[in-house]
Amino acid sequence: MNAHPVAPSTLTPDKEKAILCAMYAIWKKEIREGKTDLKFEEWLKSGEKQFCACSTDLKPLERNGHTASCNHAKRKAERVKPKKHTPIKRVSDKRKIENKQYSELRKQYLYDHPTCEIKLIGCTGKATQIHHCSTSHKDFLNTKTWKATDAHCHNIVERVLSAADRRNKGLLKGL
C-alpha cells in the first residue's frame, strides 16, 4: 500500500484495519465497474492505486501526490491572507493641524477677550474657556462664532440651557 505522508509509527492497528477495509471497498467497486480483474492481494501489490492515509478518509491521490481535499485546503490557505490590523487613528492628520491652529487662536482670543462675554448669574468674570456658538465643524476655527467665558457660565450654557434659550441669548447659531 502506497500512502503519503504517513509514518508507519503513526498507524495504529485500528487505523491500518480501517485503511484496508476502505481499500477493499474501493477494490470491490472497481471489480463491479470492470476497471480491474486482479485479486485483492495482487491489486494491493501492483501499486496501481495510491491512497492518502493522512486523514480519516481514504481517498485516491491526484497527479501531485495529494488528495483532492488536501489540494483544496492548500489552495484555500494560499487564497486566505491574514488581514493586517491597522488601528483607526484617534485624530486624523487634518484634525491635528486644525487642533494646533485652534490652540494658537484660542490663546490669542482669550488674551484679547479677558472677561466673560456671557455673564450669567454666578459668573466669576475671568474668561478661561471658549464657547462655540456654531454647531458646524466648518466654524471650528472661525473666531466670529466664539465667545470667551468662564467655567461656570460655560457649564450652564452647555448643560442647563435649552437650545431655544441659547438661540435667544445668541449663544447658538445654525441648525
Q: Looking at residue 123, what DSSP letter applies?
A: -
φ/ψ bin of 47: left (φ > 0), alpha (ψ from -120 to 50), beta (otherwise): left
Secondary structure class of 160 (helix, strand, coil): coil
Percent of all residues in the chain with a pLDDT value above 90, rounded to a whole number = 35
CA distance 131 to 109: 11
Q: Is the pLDDT of residue 150 over 90?
A: yes
18 Cβ neighbours under 8 A, 6+ residues apart: 58
**CA distances to 52, 69, 103, 126, 147 from 56, in Å:** 9, 12, 68, 80, 76
Q: pLDDT band for 108, please (50, 70, 90 cuts).
A: very high
Percent of all residues in the chain with a pLDDT value above 70, rounded to a whole number = 81
Instruction: Tell me the sheet residues that pair with 51.
Output: 3, 60
Residue 60 near residue 51, CB atoms below 8 Å = yes
State the greatest distance between any 2 C-alpha atoms of the chain, in Å, as a whole number: 107
Q: pLDDT band for 82, please (50, 70, 90 cuts).
A: confident
**15-68 residue pLDDT tens:** 777 777 777 887 788 888 887 778 877 777 766 565 665 555 566 666 666 677
Please give the sequence-ordered ranges of beta strands (E in DSSP) within 80-161, or none if there are none.
129-132, 146-149
**114-125 residue pLDDT tens:** 999 999 899 999
Q: Tell me the residue type at 96.
A: K
pLDDT of residue 5: 45
When pLDDT is averaged across residues 60-82 and rounded to a whole number, the result is: 74
pTM of the predicted structure, to 2 decimals: 0.51
Is the Cα torsion angle 52, 55, 57, 62 positive or negative in sign?
A: negative
What's the chain's length in residues? Answer: 175
Residue 22 near residue 44, CB atoms below 8 Å = no
Q: Is the pLDDT of residue 93 over 90?
A: yes
pLDDT of residue 3: 44
Q: pLDDT band for 4, please (50, 70, 90 cuts).
A: very low
